[in-house]
Amino acid sequence: MKKLWVVVLLTVAAIYFCSACRIKAATDDRLSFKGAPTTKEQLGEKLFFETLLSADSSLSCASCHIPAFGFADTVAFSRGVGGHTGKRNTQSCANITDRPVLFYDGRAASLEDQVHFPIQDTNEMSLQAAQAVARLRANKDYVTWFGKIFGSAPTEKNLAEAIAAFERTLETSKTPFDRYMDGDERAISAAAKRGRELFMSPKAKCFDCHFSPDFTGDEFRNIGLYDGVTLKDEGRYGITGKKEDLGKFRVPGLRNVAVTAPYMHNGMFRTLKEVIAYYDDPYKVVANPINIDTLMLRPLGLTSSEKQDLEAFLLTLTDDRFVKKK
Ligand code: HEC
Ligand code: HEC
């Protein structure tokens, strides 16, 4: 009888450990490296996928910044701890190395500064920074890794430094557009080439706001998505309190935009076609915008093939790593 119990116990233990190993292996599969992290970037990557950083250990940064979707989310408003949602669409956190300020309203001044916002935000991970650090300090693995990499225990500062270092690795330039710019004429279609010309032309005016290698000048502009009635996010005004900033949002970069739907600060457009139709005639969507940019005052008058060309161009900005393999 005793023997039987030993066998049963051993079997149960074996099943438990095997499934624990499997879960561990599955988790590690998402990382770009194997085994223990040995650099700041790798430690940051590990932390980016770490659910310990949310109050109920249910969410990591990657829950909303999903790697396969250009490090953005697929819904208008991401669900935080306890199902809470905020008022903004999750931005991509790729190609942000060169951003002088972060968020749609520019409320974070650097990547290091940015990190504590989502951890503490009650609509996101809902954990006090001090608690996050305490959890890492209570974890033998993290204590060892931080010790080796930073020469100290986890702190708010080195936690932010590690995540920021990982985010700086998320620059994506293996795109048909970049190959075309490097001289490969066949990298993009004729439609995309026409779309690019149009994007930079006085007719479409996209380039007036979406310029630089990442297609943003990092300015705050108002494209008409604030009317104080149904569209009530005041954007940059919420930070500066200056009347001229009402309804202004930081111009988003457009790299990988094909995989980061839905679009705009409130995720109100589901497709690039809807975005382009909006720019063509904003007033069809928002009748009485407040403080709209002078560039947007008149409809653009794009033909349907011009709209298709613009979309074809935007599709060339997708990095190879996000292109679904058939
Ligand atoms: C519950 C969903 C959620 C989680 C979890 C989350 N974020 Fe975000 N993230 C957002 C939203 C929403 C925004 C846009 C907020 C805004 O602009 O006001 C954002 C914006 C950002 C930005 C700014 C991007 C830019 O272009 O300005 C960065 C960087 C970022 N998050 C990194 C992180 C990191 C690092 C973590 C983990 C510590 C994290 N996020 C966790 C939803 C989330
Ligand atoms: C006056 C400046 C301005 C002009 C002109 C402009 N944009 Fe934008 N664009 C913005 C701003 C600001 C946002 C973010 C607005 C928001 O979230 O409410 C944006 C958002 C977008 C987005 C959504 C990105 C995302 O991740 O959600 C796309 C796509 C886009 N613009 C493409 C274009 C195209 C194509 C044109 C030309 C037809 C164009 N833009 C012209 C300022 C501009």
The residue whose C-alpha atom lies closest to atom 33 belonging to ligand 1 is 61
Q: Both 78 and 157 in a single domain?
A: yes
190 Cα to the center of ligand 1, angstroms = 36
| pTM check: above 0.95 | no
Ligand of minimum distance to the alpha carbon of 62: 1
Residue 250: enclosing H or E segment and its boundaries? strand 249-250
Of all ligands present, the nearest one to the C-alpha of 199 is 2
Q: What is the pLDDT of residue 29?
A: 83
- Domain count for the chain: 2
**Whose atoms come closest to the Cα of 163: which ligand?**
1
Question: From the CB of 204, is ligand 2 less than 6 Å away?
Answer: yes
pLDDT lower than 50: segments of the chain: 18-26
**How many whole angstroms from 172 Cα to the centroid of ligand 1?**
18
**In a domain? residue 105:** yes
The verdict on 244 and 297 lying in the same domain is: yes
In contact, 206 and 199? CB cutoff 8 Å: yes
Compute the CA torsion angle 232, 237, 239, 240 (nearest 10 deg): -160
Q: Are residues 146 and 186 in the same domain?
A: no
Residue 324 pLDDT: 81
The answer to whether residue 46 is domain-embedded is: yes
CATH code of the domain covering residue 73 = 1.10.760.10
- Does the beta carbon of 235 sit less than 6 angstroms from any atom of ligand 1? no
Cβ proximity of 175 and 318 under 8 Å: yes
pLDDT at 1: 58
50 and 130 co-located in one domain = yes
Same domain, 185 and 265: yes
The residues with which 250 forms a beta bridge, in sequence order, are: 220
**CA 264 / ligand 1 centre spacing (Å):** 14
Q: Are residues 202 and 313 in the same domain?
A: yes
Q: Quick check: CB of 205 below 6 Å from ligand 2?
A: yes
Q: How far is the CA of 296 from the centre of ligand 2 (A)?
A: 11
Q: Is 112 in the pocket of ligand 1 (CB under 6 A)?
A: no
For residues 154 and 189, membership in a common domain is answered with no
In the block, tokens 């409130």 appear at 266
For residues 103 and 89, the answer to whether their CB atoms sit within 8 Å is no
Q: Do 191 and 311 fall into the same domain?
A: yes
Closest CA to 279 of 258, 299, 263: 299
What is the domain extent for residue 103? Answer: 28-167
Domain shared by 187 and 304, yes or no = yes
